[in-house]
Amino acid sequence: MVAHRMIEANGVRLHIAEQGTGPLVVLLHGFPESWHSWRRQFDPLAAAGFRVVAPDQRGYGRSDRPEAVDAYTILHLVGDVVALIQALGEEKAYVVGHDWGAPVAWHTALLRPDMVLGVAGLSVPPPFRGKQPPLAAARERFGGRFYWNYFDRPGAADAEFAEDTRTTLRKIFYWASGDAPLTGEDRQPLVDPERGWLTTMADPEAMPEWFTEDDLDVLVEGFSSGFTGALNWYRNLDRNWELTAPWHHAVVTPPALYVYGERDLVPAFPGTPELIAALPDLMPNLRGAPVELPGCGHWTQQERPDEVNAALIDFLTA
């Protein structure tokens, strides 16, 4: 059974879900999610001999939500993971992340390789710091319509998403899934700043089988206090670029695994397909080629739990 408790780490209280005994595996969720996005990984990983812990990261669910925007930098987020591992009585762990959780996992391995036995990222590939700040680059390329820039506007997405939390989450999860029929321009994360983002998304009559109404209930409860904490992660993209200057051109050295969906919009971001193709040459300890899941959308471990679990267990036990 999955157990729940609160734990003090890096000056914040984090809600964690945990199961199993053995080497520690920390599972880091993305946006707009929670620990619950790993619900189908607990039993298989615990049965394979691992201690599985999935926190609500800061700004999410039952965990603390600091008010200051700059309390959500990548250094704070990595600090949370490092402190969590230590608070759990461990010196090292495997770290696995999806969506925003992937950059946190990758940067934990980059900044604290001494504590990372292995790292796996789902959807978002390993970080290679660009030549200019991300928000500025996106603004220049897409005229300010990229969703990062919309999220960066104080209060805008916060208000739009909180107006009807259930509809917001239902639309976003369906839109970014491999089950959505939309293709091409319709699936690009571009936003009309006057109309908002949700107006362009279909509201499905029924969700895919892998995402039930009960799953949606858990997510809605997690965002009952709003979306600002989660959106603050995006508002630090340029600040993160500045803070990580000392690691420019540095590579992740612990053993690594990368898994992504064929229909995920993130691996299709400008320049990302080329990065994914080059990963085996760029990362000395990438174990095998990047794993592409046919027909899978953005919600990798939820849409394709069996394939993801098999890939993770093979990686962790190797």
**At what angle are helices 74-87 and 101-111 packed, to 10 degrees?**
70
- Provide the 3-class DSSP secondary structure of residue 61: coil
| Set 99, 152, 158, 179: catalytic member | 99
Question: Residue 41 carries which DSSP code?
Answer: T
Active site residue 99: yes
* Contact yes or no for 52/18 (Cβ under 8 A): yes
Q: From CA 54, how far away is CA 81, in angstroms rounded?
A: 11
Q: From CA 247, how far away is CA 74, in angstroms rounded?
A: 13
Q: CA nearest 202: which of 216, 220, 186, 221?
A: 186
Cis amide leading into 32 (omega within 30): yes
Count other C-beta atoms under 10 Å from residue 160's C-beta.
Answer: 18
| Set 15, 36, 76, 298: catalytic member | 298
Token pair listed for 175: 């839109």
Active site residue 36: no
Provide the annotated active-site residues: 99, 298
